[in-house]
Amino acid sequence: MTFGWCCSVCVIFVLVGLRVEEANGQFLRKVGRKQLAYWSILVDQSGHGNFTTIQSAIDAVPSQNMYWVSIMVKAGTYREKVKIPYDKPYIILKGEGKRRTFVEWDDHDNTSQSPTFVAMADNVVVKSMSFRNSYNNPINSKAIKPAVAAMVSGDKSYFLRVGFFGLQDTLWDDRGRHYYKLCTIQGAIDFIFGAGQSLFERCSISVIGGALDPGLPGFITAQGRTHSQDENGFVFIDSHVFGNGTTYLGRPWRSHARVLFYKTNFSNVIQPAGWDAWKFAPNESGITFAKYGNFGPGSDTSQRVSWTKKLDLETIQNMTSTKFIDTDGWLQKQPF
């Protein structure tokens, strides 16, 4: 443990006179109108920070942490697996740019074992960095395997200008409420999957279907909603779907999968049918695959499958508002 880290920990207990705001049970510093993390750590591979690896910085955060901790990660490629465990909420990971700060690993045995990045804790914020599972991405001659770049299982998680790069099962949006803004998600097969309740706003959905066998289409989503009353689902707003090869918008991982694309730009990579029922054909009645106001050469709905849902305007408005993931105001209380 470094001297700088010890000083940061001590500051928490001695700065009693500072103005502190409480939000969701955690503490923030208030500077003017801004709510900031209470203390910071610097990760720098060159040795000029508190730690040289991201995981060692996370490991140093106290268990059952109640204070927002900002872990600043200098530019570079970090060859490590990174995990934020259940008992370490209120962590901010901030890199120096989506194309400048990379975390890479190449596990591929199964979905649970393979993620490069795992966020189990509630109240996690990630900014300006990327996660890559490099087993199949960059594209190579290896057999295609499930190889997860990131798994998000905590509640109230926020990702801003974050990249997720893989080929199959890139982003495991496992469970909880999540907000992805200005993110890039790349892959070919089921590369956004899980049972999260998530909003993807102004995101770039990069399809690399050209890596698959000729004529074999990919799948962007594989959503895992199990029951009709479950609140989870994926909603894409003002996003852009582009790339190479061809792809379906999604196929259901579970019987009541729910996905909505709203005012999104579709390039010509989209399969005319739009969606695939996979193992749930011909019992598609529980599936909610929907669209509204999309545009671009791939937005033509004349050949779409007949069982897509036509949602009423009120449902669309509810699903495309931040209230879909935030009925208790957690987004407004984050230290952005």
Catalytic machinery residues: 169, 190
For residue 277, count CB atoms less than 10 angstroms from its CB and return exposed for 0-12, middle for 13-18, buried for 19 or more. middle
Position of tokens 């190449």?
106
Beta bridge partners of 197: 177, 233
CA dist., res. 56 & res. 95, Å (int)? 16
244 and 209 Cβ atoms separated by less than 8 Å: yes
User: Quick one: which of 96, 110, 88, 103 has its CA closest to 42?
Assistant: 96
Angle at 9 between CA 8 and CA 15, to 5 degrees: 80
Q: Give the β-pairing of 197-201 and 184-187.
A: unpaired
| DSSP one-letter string for 214-257 | TT--EEEEEE---STT---EEEEES-EEEEES-EEEE--SSTT-
Beta bridge partners of 219: 189, 248
User: Quick one: which of 86, 54, 46, 47 has its CA closest to 72?
Assistant: 54
User: Quick one: which of 34, 31, 10, 28 has its CA closest to 66?
Assistant: 28
Alpha-carbon Rg of the chain, whole angstroms?
A: 20
DSSP structural state of residue 98:
T
308 and 285 Cβ atoms separated by less than 8 Å: no
CA dist., res. 160 & res. 180, Å (int)? 6
DSSP structural state of residue 175:
S
CA dist., res. 85 & res. 71, Å (int)? 15
98 contact partners, CB below 8 Å, separation of at least 6: 128, 129, 130, 161, 162, 163, 184
